Amino acid sequence: MQQLRPADLAAWLADESRPKPVLLDVREGWEVAHCHLDGITHIPMNEIPARQQELDPDAETVVICHHGMRSYQVGIFLERSGFTALHNLAGGVAGWADEVDPAFPRY
């Protein structure tokens, strides 16, 4: 699994020549309701084992949480389950607010 800085994700999402990744947000529902990136797939961390079949194991997937720790743990789990193209959003949505969008809601 690769670590991906928020600024690099922003550049990826803005690059029309590059296919968009799956944005897998593993935070709790109340966190996602407070703030989230556009176009996410929301599966809370504790539901990943039961719902991983909803995800394509070969798709470029960026795993997202608040600060990057839960997403890292989910990424390791998915790697062990055969997922091959995983990226952890280093710093999570807090990092996104710091590096990309200062107006992004914080909590």
CATH at residue 83: 3.40.250.10
Please state the pTM of the whole predicted model: 0.97
User: In whole angstroms, how far apart are CA 26 and each of 45, 54, 72, 76, 96?
Assistant: 5, 14, 10, 13, 15
Distance CA 41, CA 55 (A): 9
76 found inside a domain: yes
Total tally of structural domains belonging to the chain: 1
**Structural domain range at position 23:** 2-47+61-99
55 found inside a domain: no
Percentage of the chain lying above the pLDDT 90 cut: 100
- What does the pLDDT average to over 74-95? 98
Q: Return the SS3 of 89.
A: strand
pLDDT given for residue 76 in this prediction: 98
53 found inside a domain: no
41 found inside a domain: yes
